[in-house]
Structure 1
Amino acid sequence: MSSAEPRRIVLFRHAKSDWPQVSDHERPLADRGRKDAAVAGRKLADTGIPFDLALCSTATRTRETWKLAVQELAQRPKTVYEERVYEASPGELIALLNETPDDARNVLLIGHNPGIQGLAEVLASAAEGDSGERMNRRGFPAAAFATLSFDGSWKSLEPGVATLLGYWAPSD
């Protein structure tokens, strides 16, 4: 793989969760969330991105989202369940991504709002096509994902260095 090839990161918000009498961290997916997670997995597969690494929050709803979505991918990437993704701010998520080994070209981050949407907004200085407009109009509903690219090492990831390549959200 050429060192000139940009890195790609997909920021994926967990699917719709249920609200049973459990702690926020332990909330499972709702029926709609299970359906949307599988659809999002098919849409992730359609991107054709060969993911090297998936960083997933330890919350139940993110783990369930990833378990359903990854089944749709042609190849399962190495998955790391990372406690620091839960309730993380965009700055905390950037700090976590800065630790990514440089042999990982394409990373999927499965997390929560407002951190995931905020991260997409602060990283992207430009957008291809209408992806930025669609993301701004729709926000970042459950099971949505944004695809970004940037040049350089993971240590160089900082606000404004990425281009928003695409955005997808399930239909309501």
Structure 2
Amino acid sequence: MSVDTPRRIVLLRHAKADWPQVSDHDRPLADRGRMDAPTAGARLAETGIPFDLALCSTAARTRETWKLVVQALPHRPRTVYEERLYEASPGELIAVLNETPDDVNDLLLIGHNPGVHAVAEALTGTGEGDAPARMARSGFPTSSFAVIGFTGPWKSLEHGVANLVDYWAPHD
């Protein structure tokens, strides 16, 4: 892969979770989450992004979100369940992204707030249209996603080098 390879990252926040008497890691989706996740999947399919890889937190709510989202995609990308995405800081998320193999051009990350929102803001030095304003206004609710573009190898991904291409939130 050359240094000028265009790449896309989609940062997807898990769907709305329930609050039963279980550990935070084991929280399942709420009814609203089970309704919103397929809608997010359909909207992701509309982007036409042919994901090469999906990185998903090991938490129950992210795994359940992914199971519902992927059904709407035209093809299922290779999926890696990554423990480090659970409760990850923006720096930890960027470190995981920096490890992505360079044969991956389009990556979907299914994670949690506040990390997903913070890393979207940290990576994007520029934005297209009203996407930055919509992301700032919404606060990155459950089932929302940001499409981020950058050029170069994954190890070069750092603060401010990317472009916010699109942002979507349910109920927006």
- Which runs of structure 1 show a deviation greater than 2 angstroms over 4 or more consecutive aligned residues? 1-5
- How many equivalent pairs are there? 172
In structure 2, list runs of 5 or more residues that go unmatched.
none
Task: Find the counterpart in structure 2 of residue 7 from structure 1.
Answer: 7
Matched, 1:153 2:140: no
In structure 1, list runs of 5 or more residues that go unmatched.
none
* Partner deviation per Cα, 1:99-130 (whole Å, 9 max, x = no partner): 00000000000000000000000000000000
- For 1:141, what is the secondary structure of its paired residue? coil
- For 1:113, what is the secondary structure of its paired residue? coil
- For 2:68, what is the secondary structure of its paired residue? helix
- For 2:9, what is the secondary structure of its paired residue? strand
Distance 1:93 1:56 in 2: 12
Task: Find the counterpart in structure 1 of residue 100 from structure 2.
Answer: 100
Distance 2:55 2:114 in 1: 17
% identity of equivalent residues:
70
Task: Find the counterpart in structure 1 of residue 144 from structure 2.
Answer: 144
Task: Find the counterpart in structure 1 of residue 127 from structure 2.
Answer: 127
1:6 Cα deviation after fit? 1.1
Task: Find the counterpart in structure 1 of residue 109 from structure 2.
Answer: 109
1:5 Cα deviation after fit? 4.1
TM-score (norm 2): 0.98
1:92 Cα deviation after fit? 0.2
- For 1:94, what is the secondary structure of its paired residue? helix
- How do residues 42-81 of structure 1 correspond to structure 2 at under 5 angstroms? 42-81=42-81
Distance 1:152 1:91 in 2: 19
Distance 2:4 2:113 in 1: 32
